[in-house]
Amino acid sequence: MRITPSLLNADFSRLADEAARIPTADFLHMDVMDNHFVPNLTLGAPVIESLAKVAGQPIDAHLMIADPDRWAPQFVEAGASSVTFHVEAAAAPVRLARELRSLGARASMALKPATPIEPYEDMLPELDMVLIMTVEPGFGGQKFLDICLPKIRRTRAMLDKVGGDIWLQVDGGVSLETIERCAEAGADTFVAGSAVYGAEDPSAMVEALRDKAITACAH
């Protein structure tokens, strides 16, 4: 069970310090938004490059951007260990996944809440991770969408059929109140933003979230 806190809810003026507050995190989840694919503007490759030089955790770059086929490779060069593109925005997702892998990164594909997983079953072996959005992308602090749980279950069944070590990540409204449902549905990697950085002790919250997910899967 992996916890990848989103720095969207951190203090952008001191990202290195904010990353250091969560040494228990498995990855740092960086939300890249371009104000085209989603109605918000956050950060780009230069910020990730700067953070990658000083952070103790690997970086998981979630690209909520138009034309990821063109821009995604830059984030590997900037130091991201994992790069997630949205299938809704990619012109050639198989080619893009292969390019990211060839550059040495983990290739991940994200789906918005209303995007079905079924059309992409045949390309799952090309991926290292699938990200199921459990809110509409664009802003932190949103309420978890329960309607996404059946899709998480269907995706887990597909991944089990494919075999291999393909992670299943969920992003949006993940908290101590919702992480158990996600884990029971088959997710193994969890993005939590406001739940972590809104806590008095963010590192302890990362541990608490991981423990909840592990306990849910043990039932």
Task: Indicate which residues carry an active-site annotation.
Answer: 31, 171
- Which two three-digit tokens encode residue 3? 């916890």
For residue 59, give the nearest of 25, 109, 101 by alpha carbon: 25
Who's near 68: CB < 8 A, 6+ residues apart?
85, 86, 89, 90, 96
